[in-house]
Amino acid sequence: MNLELTEAQKAIQTTAREFAQAELEPVAAQLDREFDRRVFVANLKKLADLGLTGLEVKREHGGSEAGAIAFSVAMTEIGRVCASTATTLVLNDMVAEVIQDIGTPEQKALHLPRLCAGEYPAASFALTEAGAGSDAAAVATTAVPDGDGWILNGAKRFTMNAPFAGVFLVWAVTDRAAPKGKGMSCFLVEAGTRGLRVGRTEDKLGQRATATTELAFHDCRVPRGALVGRLNDGFRMAVTELARARIGIASLALGIGLSAMDFATRYASRRVQFDDSLTALQGVQWMIADAYTDLEAARLLLLSAAWRKERGQPFVKAASMAKLFATDAANRACYTAMQLMGGAGYTRAYPVERYARDARLTSIYAGANELQRVIIAGEILKELA
C-alpha cells in the first residue's frame, strides 16, 4: 500500500480545502447559530459544480470516478471547516453508491446525474425509527404491494437533509411473516411524493446546519420501479451501505479534530503564562503530542479502509476500525483543544466549542461506536474460525 496521494487525489484535496476556506469558513459559525437554508444549499450546488458531490460515481453517470481515497481526503478538508456540509456530502455519496451498485438502469439514469450535478441539493437515508436505531432489523415501516406499486406507511426519525433532499432511500418491511431482519426491502422515494411528509426539525447540540427531521409515510404510493435491489434483501443492504458511510464519517471527524488542535495549538503558542508561552511547558507539549499522534493514527486507518474499498477488497472491519478510532480521537482532540485554551475555549468567541459539539455526533451516527466494537469483534472471530 502506497501512502502517498496521487497527483489527482492531491488536486481534489486542494480543491476541497480551497473551497472550504473561501466559501464555507466565512459562514460556518453563522449557520451554526442561525441556519439559513438558502446559503447552505447554494454551497452544496457550488460543490457539485466542482465535481465534489460525485467523487465515487462513474463518469457515465455524471460523477468524477475519483475513488474512495479521494473522497476521504476531500471530506477531511470539508470537515475541517463545516462538519454539517461534510455530513451532507457523505450521505449523498452513500445514496449514490447504493443506486450505482444495485439500482436498475432506469434508477441510475434518473437519479445519479441529478445528484452529481446538484439538481438534487442532497439525498437522504431513512432507516432509523423510534424503535430501530443500532438495531436496524427492528424497522416497523411497512411497504405493501398494490397493483403496479407499493404503499408505504410508518415513520422515521433523525433523517438528515430531508427538507432539501431530492430523493430518499427508505427501508421498510415487505414480508411481515419473515424472521426479524429477513423481510426488509429498500425503496427510492422522490421528494414531493404524495403521502410523504417532512416533520419537525430537531434542535441539536451540534452539526446544526444539517437539518435532521422526522419523516412520516401515510399511504405513500411509489411505483414498482422504486424497489432497489432484491425484494426482502434490505437488511443486508443497510449493513453494507452503512459500512461505506463510516469511511466518510471518520474522514470528516478527522478534519474536525485537526482543526480544533491546530487552532488551540496556535492559541497556546501565543498565550504567555509563567513568563513563557504555554507551549514551552512540558505538560502542554505532551497534550499536543498525544492528540496529533491519535489523529495521525486515525488518518492511517482511514487510508487503509479507503484503499481496501477502492480495490474491491473486504473493508467492513477496516471501516469500523477507522470510524471507531477516528471519531473517538476527534472527540478527545476537541476536549484537549478546549483544555489548552482554558476558559477562552469554552466561549463562542472561538470555534473550538463548535468543533467539540460537532465532533460529538460522529461517535453516534452511522452506527454508534459501541456497535462498531461488536462489528470488529465479529469480523475477527469469523477470520479466526
**pLDDT above 80 (res 2):** no
Close Cβ partners of 201 (under 8 Å, ≥ 6 residues apart):
163, 211, 212, 213
Angle at 345 between CA 341 and CA 350, to 5 degrees: 115
pLDDT tens sequence across 263-296: 999 999 999 888 889 999 999 999 999 999 999 9
Domain 124-234 has CATH 2.60.210.10: no
pLDDT range class, residue 133, cuts 50, 70, 90 = confident
DSSP single-letter state for residue 229: S
pLDDT tens sequence across 11-38: 999 999 999 999 999 999 999 999 899 9
Q: What is the pTM of this model?
A: 0.96
CA distance 292 to 333: 8
For the residues of 19-76, what is the DSSP string, one character each?
HIIIIIHHHHHHHHHS--HHHHHHHHHHHHHTTTT-TTS-GGGT-----HHHHHHHHH
Cell 478534519, residue located: 255
Domain 242-384 has CATH 1.10.3720.10: no
Give the 3-state secondary structure of residue 270.
helix
pLDDT of residue 241: 83
| β-strand pairing of 122-126 with 165-173 | parallel
Instruction: Enumerate the domain spans of the chain.
Output: 7-121, 124-234, 242-384
CA distance 244 to 375: 14
Query: What is the pLDDT averaged over residues 299-310?
Result: 97
CA distance 248 to 306: 9
pLDDT tens sequence across 67-101: 999 999 999 999 999 999 999 999 999 999 999 99
CATH number for the segment(s) 7-121: 1.10.540.10
CA distance from start to end of the chain: 27
Q: What does the block give as the cell for 384?
A: 479466526
pLDDT of residue 275: 82
Q: What does the block give as the cell for 142?
A: 411497512
